[in-house]
Amino acid sequence: MNYRLTLKEKIILFVTTAFIMLFITCSSPLYAFNYWDDANVFFTMGRGIINGLVPYRDLYEQKGPILYMAHAICALISSKSFLGVWFLEVFMGTVFAFFCYKTVKLYIDPPKYAIAAVPALLSAIYTVKMINYGDCAEELCFPILTVIMYITLRTAKTAAENGDKDRLPGEKDSLIIGILAGILFWIKYTFLGAVIGICLYMLLFTIKPKTWVRLLKRIGMFVTGIVLVTIPVLIYFAVNGALTDLWTAYFYNNIFLYSEYDWNEIYGTGIFDVPVIGVFVSIVFDMLGSILLFPSYGFIMLFIVIGPFLVKDKSRDNVLALSFLSLFCCLAGVFTKPHIVYYYGYITMYLAPFALIVLIKAAMYVGKVFKNRGRLAPVLVILTYSVLSVMFIITGKNMYMLKYSKQDYPQYKYAAIINEVPDAKILTYDVMDSGYYLASETLPNTPYFCYLNIEETWPVIRQEQGRMIANGEFDFIIAYHDDYEQYWDRYEIVDYTTFVFRDYTGDVLEEPIYLYRLKSA
């Protein structure tokens, strides 16, 4: 069986992915602005990098440096809009589409019309509410995991067909997996749970007594791949004298400052802190929470669970073991504690090729039922999946944002005022950076340029912001509250507005936003 994609298939997958991304992400040229906090924080970090600022030292945030480097490349394409980010999303979406279909072709010889199922699946996945407005770490990283899964599954299949008991990836594939794992590590290391699951699968299900030398070589190549990614990262921070900042922000604070919660007080039980058992309970509760909050996510996960059982192949046991072991470890990585933000589970979409197997099996079943009806089966399949694609897109929660122009957003309303001051310095105080730096075409003059959710456990943020506010080092401050004038003697409110939008749960919120200005001397 030929697992490769034909040129026609590649064109169809790329064009449909780009078309879908035109509507589902607010980074698209169709939208005036991407209102999401995370996307704007990443973009501010990227804009900072191309202007000589160093992550963690000059601009503080908690994700990994490769994510910011990717957004720096996007900023080189356009530093005044999300056009470059849209290109990035289209690229990663296309990678995902390619390897989804390649994975299916490992086990099925699909009829040509079955490719219509891919846009339907993409539309369903990328319109799950947990993606919010587009451009999150989970969205950009699950395609990478899909590639790793494909390489591992292809190896198992080839070995099974050849009667080879050693089903480890070859040295070249091990190097590629290591490079991809290194990229994931330096974007958000909790995503490595799925990779750990894949490694456990290799140890438990594919290693035989006489293959240890081969195993050690594969491990060596895997580690080499990670090192090849890590060395440039460390050199960059070493040259800029920021290795300590990297360690503090990306590792120490993420590991220790986000776990200082009394789960017994919050949830009424201390079971989440019980070793091993707490992990299982967290996974179950967080998955249930995610499914209840995002029903479409639940349906996709149901198809993902069904998919491996539909595989009719000599390597079927490997498929089942790999998919479920990697899924468990993936969830254990992102749900290590009971999270209130359930969209962390979105990373599990790397297993969507198994949902695609279900959809294509359905298309093939229709083909069998109507095999004597000429072109009826292809027409029914293409029409059904096209309708589903359109339905998912037009009912996506971001579509309402198409009605807004730039002037409707607080970011651009305030930018008109901010830009009256030459080289203005601004701060988003109790607000995450939702695009005020981008709209006003400014860069932060403090590492702590926005709200980051760890102010209570790491008071240095508030202390530094408070010192600079007291010294009048900002020309403007954007905040959610109007009572800071009693604390900030040097600032006064000069404008107020509200913005109505939907958060990641789909709830409609009206956000009050105040603009403070430094008083004239």
CA nearest neighbour of 260 among 53, 457, 461, 14: 457
| Residue 432 scores a pLDDT above 70 | yes
| Residue 272 scores a pLDDT above 80 | no
Question: Do residues 285 and 129 make contact, with C-beta atoms less than 8 angstroms apart?
Answer: no
Confidence of residue 454 (pLDDT cuts 50, 70, 90): confident
| 464 and 507 assigned to the same domain | yes
Residue 64 covered by a domain: yes
| 418 and 451 assigned to the same domain | yes
Segment of 121-125, 257-261, 341-345 carrying the highest mean pLDDT: 121-125
| 273 and 413 assigned to the same domain | no
Residue 469 covered by a domain: yes
Last residue of a domain, one of 373, 400, 427: 400
Percentage of the chain exceeding pLDDT 70: 93
The tokens for 170 are 């070859």
Question: Do residues 130 and 342 make contact, with C-beta atoms less than 8 angstroms apart?
Answer: yes
| 137 and 167 assigned to the same domain | yes
**Sheet containing 508-518, strands listed edge to edge, beginning at the edge strand earlier in sequence:** 426-428, 476-479, 508-518, 491-502
pLDDT in tens, 339-377: 556 678 899 999 999 999 999 999 999 989 888 787 898
The tokens for 254 are 């993420």
Confidence of residue 334 (pLDDT cuts 50, 70, 90): confident
| Residue 95 scores a pLDDT above 70 | yes
Question: Do residues 59 and 250 make contact, with C-beta atoms less than 8 angstroms apart?
Answer: no
The tokens for 241 are 């004298």
| Residue 337 scores a pLDDT above 70 | no
Tokens 């969507």 correspond to: 352
Tokens 């963690």 correspond to: 56
| Euclidean distance between CA atoms 50 and 48, whole angstroms | 6
CA nearest neighbour of 348 among 290, 390, 412, 409: 290
| Euclidean distance between CA atoms 435 and 424, whole angstroms | 15
Residue 151's pLDDT is: 96
Dihedral sign for Cα 477, 483, 484, 488, please.
Answer: positive
Spell out the residues 6+ positions from residue 179 whose beta carbon is closer than 8 angstroms to its own: 225, 226, 228, 229
| 3-class state of residue 192 by DSSP | helix
DSSP-derived secondary structure for 382-411? HHHHHHHHHHHHHTSTTGGGGG--GGGSHH
Residue 2 covered by a domain: no
Where is average pLDDT lowest: 5-9, 132-136, 473-477, 510-514?
132-136
| 453 and 347 assigned to the same domain | no
- Residue range(s) defining the domain that contains residue 379: 7-400
Task: Give the distance, in angstroms, between the CA of residue 9 and the centroid of all CA atoms in the same chain.
Answer: 26
| 292 and 343 assigned to the same domain | yes
Across 365-399, b (16+ Cβ under 10 Å) vs e yields ebbeebeeeeeebbebbbebbeebbeebbeebbbe
Tally of structural domains, the chain: 2
Question: Do residues 224 and 357 make contact, with C-beta atoms less than 8 angstroms apart?
Answer: no
Distances (CA, A) of 78 to 50, 84, 86: 11, 6, 11
Last residue of a domain, one of 374, 400, 426: 400
Q: What are phi and psi of 499, to 5 degrees?
A: -140, 130
Is the pTM here over 0.75, yes or no?
A: yes
| 378 and 503 assigned to the same domain | no
The end-to-end CA distance of the chain, in Å, is 77
Confidence of residue 210 (pLDDT cuts 50, 70, 90): low
Residue 270's pLDDT is: 65
| 435 and 382 assigned to the same domain | no
Residue 247 covered by a domain: yes
Last residue of a domain, one of 333, 367, 400: 400
Q: What is the CA radius of gyration of the chain?
A: 25
Give the pLDDT mean for 298-321: 93
| 188 and 225 assigned to the same domain | yes
Distances (CA, A) of 311 to 94, 103, 319, 324, 366: 24, 11, 8, 14, 18
pLDDT in tens, 184-206: 999 999 999 999 999 998 888 76
| 208 and 277 assigned to the same domain | yes
| 99 and 52 assigned to the same domain | yes
Residue 1 covered by a domain: no
Residue 503's pLDDT is: 76
| 396 and 412 assigned to the same domain | no
